[in-house]
Each structure stands twice: as C-alpha cells, then as structure tokens.
Structure 1
Amino acid sequence: MASCSRFEDYQVGQVLALTVLPGQSETGLASTIHARIRELLMPRTLSCCTVVDLASETWPGTIDKPDEPIFLKLYDRRFSEQLRYQFGIDPWTKDFESAYIQAVRTGKARQFLHDLKTISNFQEDTEELWDDGQNETFLAEQADKLYNNETNAYDALGDIQGELVPRLVARVSLALSAPDVNNNGANVTNNEDLLPVKGVLLQFIPGFSLGEVQDLAPKSAWQTIVDQAVAAVQAAGDRGILNRDVRPDSFLVQRTGDSTNSENYKVVMIDFGLSRLRGADESDRNWAKAKLRKDEKGAVGLVMKKRLSSQGFELRYENSDRYMEYAGGDDEDE
C-alpha cells in the first residue's frame, strides 16, 4: 500500500492519512480518515486537487458507507504551481524542504512569521534576501490563508451546500512529520504545528467547467447554464461573500439527464480560496463599492456573453445596478 512521504509528489493509489479538524463536517466521521487517490486533477493552481475513495472506517457511526468518491483539495505549498509562480519562488525540491524543516525545528520559522505580521513593510524590504527556509515558510502561511478563506466561505454557504455549491464533508490536515534528513533522522517536534498541510473534503460532482460549455452542451442549454452560474454568484454575495477569483472555470456543470434537454444541467460554484467575508463593521457603502469594483457577476455573464457570441449565440445578460445606490454611483476608494 502506497504511503505518504514528504519527498514525493502525490500519485494514484497513494493512501493519505487525514486528520479531521474541528468545524463543520459530516456526522459520524472518524477522527482519522484514510483516503486512496483515484485520480489526480490538473492543472494545479492554488491547491492540489484529487478524487479519492475513503476507507469504510471513515463512517463508524453510520449504517451505510457512501459509495461515491470524494473530492480532496489540499493547500500544499510544495506543489501549488500558481502560488509559487505568483511569488517568484522556484519549484519545490527536497533541499527546499530540508531548509524548511530546519527553520521549523529551530524556531526560525515562527520568528519569521512574527516579523512578517508585526514589522511594517517587512516583506517589501527583505524578501529579496529570504533564504529557502523563509520562502517555504512564507508559502506555508499563504496556503493557510487560502484554506481559511475557503472554509470560512463554506461556513457562510451552509444553507446552499449540495445545491449551488458542493457539500463540505470535512476540514482535514495531512501530517508532514517525516524524519528531518539534516538532523540524523530525529523527528521534528518543536513547532510541529507549522508542518501539516490543510485541506477540505468536498462532495465530488462529476462534470465539466463552464468554460467548456460550448463544446460539451447543446446550444439550447447555454442560456440556462449561464443563468445558473450567475445565480450562484448572486447567492454567494447575498451571504456576505466577495470572491476575487470568479471566472468560467469557477463553475462545474453536471449533466443530470438527457443531454438534449436544457433542464438537465446543474451548475455549482467552486473555488473560494481567494474570497473574503464581509467585515463585521463594513458599511453598506464600502461593501457595495468592493462588490462593484470586482463585478463578480460580470466576470461570468459578460465573459460568457463575449465567448458565446463567437459561436453565433446571443446570450441574454445585463449588468446589475444592485449596489449602485449604496455606493453612491462611485466605485473609487474613499
């Protein structure tokens, strides 16, 4: 049976031992879940996505184990290609990991994070001088923020999970407690909470992205499908979510019946790693201005209208003026 090693990439057939973290999760889950990777999903953007099968002991308190696979999203700095590219950090290597383990073991990683959070302009003034351990620590912090954004969003979307967004099964972490190769095989014990990779288990929804609709759905269904995507964006906004990463690939389209029937397509919104919740003290005006600047609905409706027009299809979509009265018609910062 394949096991998890910090010095290997994920592979089909590998079994990951996942710890269930506190928070919203399915009733009756075991504290440790064993997930066998069925499929690796590419490309990797901000997270590593796989389709997994969960062992039967995952649901010790239930009568029947669900037969369907589960979607596993891990915010793993090591293999997050977009995250590393975004910050100009080279692809992960074993040497980078050794430097990170050493930084964690000695407490330098925790001191670095303290400085990052408390010293004004610390990143701008010092990042060109960061060593490999500091780079990996920085990426681990960024990955943790993405995880928090995602889980906060799913909490806010609880009443539409399984409908307009996938169902959140559990928050999980993958322990990275392999021996420190530069420490004579001694296990990392100091500050070990910095090592695990966090992620989420989500309902697996087979389908295709909204960006592929012109190739995989009949023209008669295009309007209905895009309308559902726009409605999902609206529903997320109604629950106090602003998503900075709305695009056609942020939606899955599932065929639920005869492909020629426009009603047999269901759309769900995914990817909330770059979202935020409305602040507790955020005024109506500031919230409206933020929503207008991002124009999440337009990132779906307008983009798909232009894309489908090249196929000779006139999509019905109009910009919403919902937030204009609160923003005073001005989308500039105060």
Structure 2
Amino acid sequence: MVKSDNVASAVEQEHYAYRPGVVIHADLYVENTTSMENDADNPIHEAEDPPEQSPISISLTVVQTLSTTLSCVLLVDVSDGYQLPTSSPVTSTPLPSTSKAVLKLCDRRFSAGLREDYDAAIWTPQVERKHRKFMTIPEDVRFACSANSEDDSWRYCSSDEDGSASKSRRKKSTNMAKKKRVSNEHWSSGHREAYIEQVAQKLYRTEVAIYRQLRELQGEDVPFIYGTVRLQKVGRRSLGKLDVRGMLMQYIDPSFSLRDIPERIPDQTRWQEVGEAAVKVVQVVGDYGILNDDVRLDNILVVPTREEDEKQADADSEDQPERSTQRFKTVMIDFGIARAQRKNETDDEFRRERRRCDEEGAVGYVLEKHLMKAKQSSNCPHFKYRPSRRLDRPWDNDEEDNW
C-alpha cells in the first residue's frame, strides 16, 4: 500500500496536466434559474448532467494550482475574450469585473488526497490502461460495492479497518473512512481507478446540486458559480476519451482562510468580529437546508472589505478625503461532502441532525482554540465562542442524538 509520506504532490508528477501556462479548452454550460430551480425542487438528488443547451466554447489559461485534495482546483484566466458576468442573475449581487476564475475539476488522476485515501498509486498512462481494461468487464460484476446506492449513498471503501484515521493529512475525507463497508486491499489498480472515478463523480454532482440550492447566497455567502464545464480534449488518444467535468467559480481575491487569521489580522481586537462572522455564515448556509460534514477552518474564507464612514469630520469640505473602515466578511466554500434535507426527512429530524453534527461548534470551538494558541499574551483579547443553542428544543434527548 502507498504510504502518506511517499505520495508525491500531484503538481510534481511527471504527467501532471495542469501546469501554469497550459491552455484548457472546455465547454461551458452557463447556470440559469431554470436548472437551479429544478435542483432545488428535488434536493435529495444530485445534479444532473449539463442541461440540454448549447455550450459556450471557452479557453482557460492555468495560472496556478490551488489544491489537489478531493478534486483539482485551479486558478485560471479566461483568455479567449469571454466576459464573465458582473452580477448574479438571481439576486443581482454585484460580482468583480475580472478575467480570473477558479476551475474545480473532477479529475481523479490528479486529486492527490482522494487517491491517497484509496491507496491509489500516482497516476500514469500505464495505470489508465489498466483502468480501461477493467472497464471492459461486464458492469454487473464489475464492483464489489457501489458509490451510487440510494439507500447508503456513501458506501466508500478504505483499508482503515475501523475508519478511525484517514490517510490524508487534509482530514477532508475522514467522513468517508468512517463509512467504510468493503476493504479495497486486494483490488487491482484498474478496479481502484474505476471506483475512485465513481467517488469523484459523486462528489462533483453533489457539490453542483448544493451550490444550486444556495443560489440566493451565491456571490455573498458562498462563491458565485458561472457554470459547469466539460473539458474538450483530455489525455492521449491512445488512452481513450476521458470525461472530465467541473465548475467554473468566482475567484475571491483578496481572501484567506480562518486558519490564517493570526498572520493576516495582527490586530487581535478584530478577532471576535471575524469569528462571529464565521459562525454566522455557517448558520446561514445551514438554514437553507444544507448539512455540511466538512466544516473546517480551511473551508471558510475571510474577505477584507472597506466600509465608508457615515460621518465625515467635515462633510461640507470638498477637500476632506473620504475615510473608510476595514471590515471583514466570511464566505463558505467546498460542499462535496454535504447534503440537503432529504425528501422524507421532517424539519425536526433535519434540525436534530444538524444539532448533533454541530457545524457551528466545528468552527467556533476549533477557532477559539486555534486563536488562543496564537495570542500574544494572556491579557490580549481573542475570539470567545458563545454557542447560540439555536437548534436546541426542550424535547431533545442528548443520549438518543449522540453517535
């Protein structure tokens, strides 16, 4: 089995396809209110394939790789003259006028964290040939388990017998390991690739559906989604056609994660404000019927903003320069390991599930501990998390709601 410390970063791989300067040709399926409403009406289902509409052919130049965990996330420049929208068609929320965007690709070949979790070797053309050979086996006997089961939609496999420790240091897929059903220890590399492809596709479909359900928050509390994409040409002809899909998303700049607060916000008197904003965005997203099992410090961005002072020292003076105050807003990202309220799940059942998972505390308690370690002295102010208890009800039974 491949050990964590022996798995090279995807970017350093010999066959890595998305190096800076590479031009990616893709079909862009622009999000529209109709497709969003259809997903919202059926939140239990994952997003369907791109809608029956004419795609827009675009060219994207890779600027840099942002991450390679459960997907391949790239900063790209829309280099063929296509203009990204400057406002949300749903809420009219203004968007930055820019050619930069985030391209999040469902590409198992270079999703290093996903491959590591399933003991997959670094991707090579030889590995892909074994995958192709495995896919010639009749479908009804191909898999020992399925990632698409409606009754148990997270039937992931892992060599961790008790699921207590995901191999990925990113901890992003710990929830998958806990749901382990079948060991993949004796799988062939072709079998492993085929299964990872199922997992990657499911993560993609789930995230697209979640973002569509959060359409009213796009551009404000979550990134705006310009559309879904399908790459036009992927890999060598000899390896067969690879179907790589993804999302073209708003690039939020400047921004940094909650984890970076000590370095990016040296004024510790501002930490309480930022921490409360982070807890608030978790509450807002949850109130839209979303349960996110991957709420972490790294998945909430802090966005510095400027707010003009309402009162000027000399409002009548034209020579008086405008003054503004530094403010911070927060944005939640990454919904691959999330779900909407199920069709047969009552509001109270969903509330209890949210209460048990305690997404708010997953940010609040962890951030308080993180900033406590970083504060300069015992007398310095820092973030103090105060649980809202907003999901508590008098009839709750903690013993029943615990794992």
TM-score normalized with structure 1 length: 0.81
Distance in 2, matches of 1:108 and 1:223, equals: 58
Q: Structure 1 counterpart of 2:350, which letter?
A: W
Q: Which residue of 1 aligns with 2:296?
A: 247
Distance in 2, matches of 1:205 and 1:48, equals: 17
Q: Which residue of 2 aligns with 1:47?
A: 71
User: Cα offset for 1:89?
Assistant: 2.1
Question: Is 1:178 paired with 2:236?
Answer: yes
Q: Which of residues 269, 279, 287 is equivalent to 1:238? A: 287
2:237 counterpart SS class: coil
Q: Which residue of 1 aligns with 2:128?
A: 97
Question: Is 1:329 paired with 2:377?
Answer: no
Distance in 1, matches of 2:64 and 2:139, equals: 33
Q: Which residue of 2 aligns with 1:184?
A: none
1:71 counterpart SS class: strand
Question: Is 1:203 paired with 2:250?
Answer: yes
Unpaired stretches in structure 2, ≥5 consecutive residues? 1-13, 34-52, 87-95, 158-180, 308-323
Contact 2:31/2:226 (8 A) holds in 1: no
Distance in 1, matches of 2:18 and 2:331, equals: 27
- Structure 2 counterparts to residues 25-64 of structure 1, below 5 A: 31-42=56-67, 44-59=68-83
Distance in 2, matches of 1:269 and 1:155, equals: 14
Distance in 1, matches of 2:294 and 2:156, equals: 27
Q: Structure 1 counterpart of 2:124, which letter?
A: T
- Structure 2 counterparts to residues 300-311 of structure 1, below 5 A: 300-310=363-373, 311=375
2:134 counterpart SS class: helix
Q: Percent identity?
A: 31
Q: Structure 2 counterpart of 1:84, which letter?
A: R
Write out per-residue CA displacement over residues 212-239 of structure 1, whole angstroms, 9 at most, x where no aligned residue. 0111012132112111111111111110
Distance in 1, matches of 2:353 and 2:77, equals: 40
User: Cα offset for 1:15?
Assistant: 0.6
Distance in 2, matches of 1:141 and 1:36, equals: 28
User: Cα offset for 1:48?
Assistant: 1.2
Distance in 2, matches of 1:135 and 1:125, equals: 12
Write out per-residue CA displacement over residues 159-204 of structure 1, whole angstroms, 9 at most, x where no aligned residue. 11111111111111224363235xxxxxx3xxx6xx3122111110
Q: Structure 1 counterpart of 2:358, which letter?
A: D
- Structure 2 counterparts to residues 73-152 of structure 1, below 5 A: 73-104=104-135, 106=136, 108=138, 112=142, 116=146, 124=181, 127-152=184-209
Distance in 1, matches of 2:222 and 2:114, equals: 24
The structure with the greater share of residues assigned to helix is 1
Unpaired stretches in structure 1, ≥5 consecutive residues? 1-5, 182-187
Q: Which residue of 1 aligns with 2:330?
A: 267
Contact 2:30/2:55 (8 A) holds in 1: no
Distance in 2, matches of 1:60 and 1:268, equals: 20
Distance in 2, matches of 1:107 and 1:325, equals: 53
Distance in 1, matches of 2:367 and 2:325, equals: 17
Contact 1:248/1:304 (8 A) holds in 2: yes
Distance in 1, matches of 2:366 and 2:261, equals: 13
Q: Which residue of 1 aligns with 2:28?
A: 20
Question: Is 1:298 paired with 2:322?
Answer: no
User: Cα offset for 1:103?
Assistant: 3.3
Contact 2:144/2:182 (8 A) holds in 1: no
Relative to 1, partners in 2 of residues 1:303 and 1:137: Cα closer, same or farther, differing over 3 Å?
A: same
User: Cα offset for 1:254?
Assistant: 1.9
